[in-house]
A and B are shown apart, each in its own frame.
Chain A
Amino acid sequence: MSICSIQFLLFTGLALLVYYLLPARLGKAQPYVLLAASLAFFLSLSPKAVCWLLLAALASFGFALLIERRPRRRKCWLVLDVLFVLGLLAALKYHTFFTDLLFGGAPSRLELLCARYLLLPIGVSFYSLAALGYVIDVYREKYKAERNFFRFLLFLVYFPHILQGPIARYDKFSPQLEQMHGFDWDGFNSGLRRMLWGYIKKMVIADRAAVFVGGVYAHAAAAGGTELFIASLLYTVQIYADFSGCVDIMCGISELFGIGLAPNFEQPYLSRSLGDFWRRWHISLSSWFRDYLYIPLGGNRRGRVRRYLNVLIVFLVSGFWHGAGWNFIVWGAIHGVWQILEELFYRNGLGRKPGEVSGRLAWLQTLVTFLVVNFAWIFFSNDSLRTGLKIVRNILLRPSLWVLGNGGLFSFGLKAPEMFLLVFFIALLIAVDVLNSRGIRGRDILARQPLPVRWLLLLLGVLAVFVFGVYGQSYNASSFIYMQF
């Protein structure tokens, strides 16, 4: 069941009906409705994946209880859980990478066996981190271990965050299950508006950009530098619109159930440095790495060299977490190295720090950061390091501006009207982000408009998704990029 399908909307509607029509005396059953809906959703995506999810859940639930009840061996339980969950993740996600590394060439028997039984289960990267975070927090005595397995399972499998996050924290999520959620009209409206904006980002912007990006990258070796550069820019837009669109849809749905999820994006492409970028992009992931990897490694408490090393380790791990390939590791390395360079640059007084400047210089910092992020995405978006390098080489060595005037840009799957439409919606996306960065929320502006204007805009939004969205048979609508991680 795709998130961008009528079936999914009907499924959500049905879950909402059951959720809110439960009599007050059964209010405590609301989490079970959510659990049933989440499991049904997960089953519809991949029945096999439920087994792996249950294994991870049982292990983390059990080890957390053991940490509390058998405190003398608490470290041992923690290590066992970390090994188990990471082992599961490695087996499911990285078996190809490791078998390639070990055996190379033609697929070995082990690789074939793995391919048969260990298909990458959807959401594994997200629920693994959530489960690990929970056990580590219990170990750190941040909160008590959960006694009810089903509530813990819901924390992992809750369908609005299982696919692409945000990676939930148990102490933020669990208290919201304590109370009975009555139907709140305003919250409901707000959730619907957020969903609509998410669908516009995903189906109108990301999937349309994907047509062009796919068209150009499919012929990366032969394509000219200008097309490749535009494709790289559009991929940068695509991945943001895709990922944040999905998060908006899912956070909107969660709002419909009265459950808030942590924000995952804060206008990342307006960042003025890479450090700033990672405080605004996939916030739940970067804060997870900060709390459970960077700080345990020593953070910035053990001197400058060690700090740089820690940054590098975190970003290499982050790259590897995103995908089992050298291109992802290089992507992580670019982010890590650039952050170290940034810090050296400012520390040695070669420039003014982002917080200290405004105006044109601030925009220049934003532009430089954007270009570095864009450069790194080139490796991220292609299936191998070699392809990424070819694209970079062609961008630098084979630029041709003729393609801008001779209609050549329209031969990669998007006709002229579609390209103009894409540009229009990208401009809208930028405008909304700029407004948000100044504390003006589009949703609030909309809420202040008279009813007819509000409705007209919302209905036009719905129409835009249905007419301008990329879906169905005419195009191969892309699945969400981040679902594979």
Chain B
Amino acid sequence: MKNFLKTIIALTLGLSMLAAASVYTMPSTDKARNRAEYAPSDYLFEGSYKMPRNSLDVVFLGSSEIYNAISPMEMWREQGIAGYCCSSSGQQAVTSYYYLREILRRQSPKLAVVDVYGLYTDPAQVSRNEGNNRSATDKMRFSREKIALSRILWKQQKDKGESFWSYLLPVLRFHSRWTELKETDLTLRQHYDYARGYSTVFGDTAYAGLTEESYPFLSQEPTDEAAERDEEAAGWYRKIGELCARRGIRLLMIRTPCSGYTLEDKNALYRLAAECGADALDFNDAAVWAQMDFDCTNDMLDSVHLNYRGAKKLSVYLGGVLRRDYGLPDHRGEEAYAFWDSDLPLYDAELRAWKIQHCTTGTKLRKLVMDENYELLAVGAENAEPAFAAALGVDPGIPSLWISRWDGAQVSTEYTEESRGFFGAEEYEINDTGIYMHGCNYMVGSGGLYYVVRDRLLGKIVDYGTVEPTGKIRRS
């Protein structure tokens, strides 16, 4: 008996150690640096575990088309609805099903909203790659759902040499990263998401290539035909319907705006919803667009994803539908939901950070960061864009280290000869090869004004790069 106990303890210790090794060798979610090391930088599901139990009224499931289109914080701001995007890049129907099961272990939402991206044949096949599988499963907690989902995703991919066990113990996949582990792998991990699973890659940038002709359904003759669908995916959506029915959850199937969408696609969505006992709401609809003031040429960031402007419109519109047709409650003012209010400024700060990260010129950057929210570390003003240097009060003749701070009224810039010091809470060291903080090098390119922007509210670095002599920003 004693030996048996010893074995159990040894096994438990060993597995715990390997689980810890998995956590630290896994590529970190490093929104601050906004650099995806392996998988897309959106291990978004992880944050859902941080929501208090049974506090969510609605969950949104689907691919990047969900996490770019629905911002639960905008719904909170306007309607007081508590929702969460349980999405992942290229999310397949099977992933949506197991995410729903996983979320139901901690939450009891009244409504599930599912984008049926995976229904259509092409996306269903294209999204079957290791990066998507990893970003879907790596940050799920160990559970029956994780095992089952990993098994299915692995079977789709196993001809590519992946090991099923590496989904359960990611150290088996990521162990070789030990040579490149940085302090950020231990510290800058995403545990809590102010944006509730919403993520936008390019802020409110509009995709230039879209016209009304990009949306065939706008000019199509009515038809009863339905688009070809992936039957395996349809089967998983039906299972979502059955699960919702068993748990007394209403189900709404949607399709976010996307170019190339046809009436056949719409018919496929409505047929599927009927099979699943779900409601359907198609955002590829001229009437809906008119109601939500959607501009299909300006509110998209590419052919299938919404930019922030579009996401805000869609979220507010959908929030109205959820309040009106599904009776979801307004929790604003409730003590138990006070943290949603306190998270709003942080969410707004994340939005600003996204804007900063995607502005392309020094002039735009200057306008964005000359704000009391930010501190700026600028190095090597030689050859810097004159206007930017002048605005910072940096003397281009002294190519050395400047730290600029905004005191609410004006920028104060100090020249320092110290190659070590503190930038906010971050200890920095500067030498010929880079600007180093917590083990990472924040110097990009060669020549120009190297900068690092730190958000005071978020307490982290939100952008870094070089303003080149031409005024353009280089980030990689």
Residues in A neighbouring B13, C-beta threshold 8 A: 455, 459
Q: Taking the complex as formed, is A468 at the interface, i.e. its CB lies under 8 A from any CB of chain B? A: yes
Q: Taking the complex as formed, is A175 at the interface, i.e. its CB lies under 8 A from any CB of chain B? A: no
Residues in A neighbouring B173, C-beta threshold 8 A: 472-473
A467 touches B175 (CB 8 A): yes
Rounded to whole Å, the gap between the CB of B58 and the closest CB of chain A is 38
B162 touches A459 (CB 8 A): no
Rounded to whole Å, the gap between the CB of A386 and the closest CB of chain B is 33
Q: Taking the complex as formed, is A418 at the interface, i.e. its CB lies under 8 A from any CB of chain B? A: yes
Q: Which residue of A lies closest to B16 (CB)?
A: A459
Bound-state Cα–Cα, A484 to B17, Å: 35
Rounded to whole Å, the gap between the CB of B129 and the closest CB of chain A is 13
Rounded to whole Å, the gap between the CB of A191 and the closest CB of chain B is 14
| Contact residues, A456-479 vs B (CB, 8 A) | 458-459, 462-463, 466-475
Q: Which residue of A lies closest to B20 (CB)?
A: A463
Chain B proximity mask over A314-329: 1 for CB below 8 Å, otherwise 0: 0000000000000000
B172 touches A472 (CB 8 A): yes
Query: What is the number of residues of chain A that contact chain B, defined by CB distance less than 8 Å?
Result: 21
> Can you offer 28 A-B residue contacts whose CB atoms are under 8 A?
A5-B163, A6-B165, A6-B172, A415-B179, A417-B178, A455-B10, A455-B13, A458-B10, A459-B10, A459-B13, A462-B14, A462-B17, A463-B18, A463-B21, A466-B18, A466-B171, A467-B21, A467-B175, A468-B175, A469-B175, A471-B172, A472-B163, A472-B172, A472-B173, A472-B175, A473-B162, A474-B175, A475-B176
Q: A467-B25, A467-B178, A472-B172 are in contact. Are A459 and B166 (CB under 8 A)?
A: no
Q: A185-B3, A462-B17 are in contact. Are A472 and B179 (CB under 8 A)?
A: no
Q: Taking the complex as formed, is B161 at the interface, i.e. its CB lies under 8 A from any CB of chain A? A: yes
Query: What is the number of residues of chain B that contact chain A, defined by CB distance less than 8 Å?
Result: 20
A6 touches B163 (CB 8 A): yes
A468 touches B178 (CB 8 A): yes
A474 touches B176 (CB 8 A): yes
A466 touches B165 (CB 8 A): no
- If A463-B17, A473-B173 are given as contacts, then 6 extra A-B residue pairs at C-beta distance below 8 Å, sorted by A number, are A5-B163, A415-B179, A462-B18, A467-B171, A472-B163, A474-B176
| Contact residues, B18-34 vs A (CB, 8 A) | 18, 21, 25
Among B3, B17, B175, chain A packs the most CB atoms within 10 A around the CB of B175
| Contact residues, B103-150 vs A (CB, 8 A) | none
B179 touches A418 (CB 8 A): yes
Q: Which residue of A lies closest to B173 (CB)?
A: A472
| Contact residues, A326-352 vs B (CB, 8 A) | none
Bound-state Cα–Cα, A470 to B176, Å: 8
Bound-state Cα–Cα, A474 to B25, Å: 13
Bound-state Cα–Cα, A371 to B178, Å: 34
Bound-state Cα–Cα, A471 to B172, Å: 8
Bound-state Cα–Cα, A463 to B175, Å: 10
Bound-state Cα–Cα, A466 to B13, Å: 14
Q: A472-B163, A473-B162 are in contact. Are A459 and B175 (CB under 8 A)?
A: no
B14 touches A459 (CB 8 A): yes
Rounded to whole Å, the gap between the CB of A225 and the closest CB of chain B is 28
**A/B pair count, beta carbons within 8 Å:** 50
Bound-state Cα–Cα, A470 to B178, Å: 12
Q: Which residue of B lies closest to A186 (CB)?
A: B3
Rounded to whole Å, the gap between the CB of A342 and the closest CB of chain B is 43
Partner of B179, one of A6, A417, A459, A473: A417
Rounded to whole Å, the gap between the CB of B71 and the closest CB of chain A is 36
Bound-state Cα–Cα, A417 to B179, Å: 6
B179 touches A466 (CB 8 A): no
Q: Which residue of A lies closest to B25 (CB)?
A: A467
* Majority secondary structure of chain B interface residues (helix, strand, loop or mixed): helix
Rounded to whole Å, the gap between the CB of B260 and the closest CB of chain A is 34
Bound-state Cα–Cα, A468 to B175, Å: 7
Bound-state Cα–Cα, A468 to B10, Å: 21
Bound-state Cα–Cα, A474 to B166, Å: 12
Residues in A neighbouring B21, C-beta threshold 8 A: 463, 466-467
Partner of A459, one of B17, B25, B176: B17
Rounded to whole Å, the gap between the CB of B323 and the closest CB of chain A is 48
Bound-state Cα–Cα, A415 to B180, Å: 10
Rounded to whole Å, the gap between the CB of A11 and the closest CB of chain B is 13
Bound-state Cα–Cα, A470 to B10, Å: 24
Bound-state Cα–Cα, A208 to B161, Å: 20
Bound-state Cα–Cα, A473 to B161, Å: 7
Rounded to whole Å, the gap between the CB of B9 and the closest CB of chain A is 9
Residues in A neighbouring B165, C-beta threshold 8 A: 6
Chain A proximity mask over B173-189: 1 for CB below 8 Å, otherwise 0: 10110110000000000
Bound-state Cα–Cα, A6 to B169, Å: 11
Residues in B neighbouring A469, C-beta threshold 8 A: 175
Rounded to whole Å, the gap between the CB of B339 and the closest CB of chain A is 37
Residues in A neighbouring B10, C-beta threshold 8 A: 455, 458-459
Among A455, A458, A473, chain B packs the most CB atoms within 10 A around the CB of A473
Rounded to whole Å, the gap between the CB of B128 and the closest CB of chain A is 17
Residues in B neighbouring A463, C-beta threshold 8 A: 17-18, 21
Residues in B neighbouring A470, C-beta threshold 8 A: 176
Residues in B neighbouring A417, C-beta threshold 8 A: 178-179
The 10 tightest CB contacts between A and B, nearest first, are A474-B176, A6-B165, A417-B179, A467-B175, A185-B3, A415-B179, A467-B178, A462-B14, A466-B171, A473-B161
Bound-state Cα–Cα, A5 to B162, Å: 12
Residues in B neighbouring A6, C-beta threshold 8 A: 163, 165, 172
Rounded to whole Å, the gap between the CB of B208 and the closest CB of chain A is 38
Q: Which residue of B lies closest to A183 (CB)?
A: B3
| Contact residues, A175-224 vs B (CB, 8 A) | 185
Q: Which residue of B lies closest to A475 (CB)?
A: B176
| Contact residues, A393-435 vs B (CB, 8 A) | 415, 417-418
Residues in A neighbouring B161, C-beta threshold 8 A: 473
Q: Which residue of B lies closest to A476 (CB)?
A: B161
Q: Which residue of A lies closest to B174 (CB)?
A: A474
Residues in A neighbouring B18, C-beta threshold 8 A: 462-463, 466
Q: Which residue of B lies closest to A10 (CB)?
A: B165
Residues in B neighbouring A415, C-beta threshold 8 A: 179
Residues in A neighbouring B3, C-beta threshold 8 A: 185
Rounded to whole Å, the gap between the CB of B48 and the closest CB of chain A is 29
Residues in B neighbouring A459, C-beta threshold 8 A: 10, 13-14, 17
Bound-state Cα–Cα, A462 to B18, Å: 9
Rounded to whole Å, the gap between the CB of B315 and the closest CB of chain A is 39
Bound-state Cα–Cα, A468 to B181, Å: 13
Rounded to whole Å, the gap between the CB of B303 and the closest CB of chain A is 32
Residues in B neighbouring A467, C-beta threshold 8 A: 21, 25, 171, 175, 178
Q: Which residue of A lies closest to B9 (CB)?
A: A455
Q: Which residue of A lies closest to B176 (CB)?
A: A474
Bound-state Cα–Cα, A471 to B165, Å: 13
Bound-state Cα–Cα, A469 to B169, Å: 15
Rounded to whole Å, the gap between the CB of A417 and the closest CB of chain B is 5
Bound-state Cα–Cα, A463 to B21, Å: 8
Bound-state Cα–Cα, A234 to B335, Å: 66
Q: Which residue of A lies closest to B172 (CB)?
A: A472
Q: Which residue of A lies closest to B15 (CB)?
A: A462
Rounded to whole Å, the gap between the CB of B130 and the closest CB of chain A is 9
B172 touches A466 (CB 8 A): yes
Q: Which residue of B lies closest to A188 (CB)?
A: B3
Rounded to whole Å, the gap between the CB of B85 and the closest CB of chain A is 30
| Contact residues, A228-245 vs B (CB, 8 A) | none
| Contact residues, A112-142 vs B (CB, 8 A) | none
Q: Which residue of B lies closest to A415 (CB)?
A: B179
Rounded to whole Å, the gap between the CB of A411 and the closest CB of chain B is 15
Rounded to whole Å, the gap between the CB of A144 and the closest CB of chain B is 40
Bound-state Cα–Cα, A96 to B176, Å: 38
Bound-state Cα–Cα, A152 to B175, Å: 43
Bound-state Cα–Cα, A318 to B201, Å: 64
Bound-state Cα–Cα, A475 to B10, Å: 30
Residues in B neighbouring A455, C-beta threshold 8 A: 10, 13
Q: Which residue of A lies closest to B178 (CB)?
A: A467
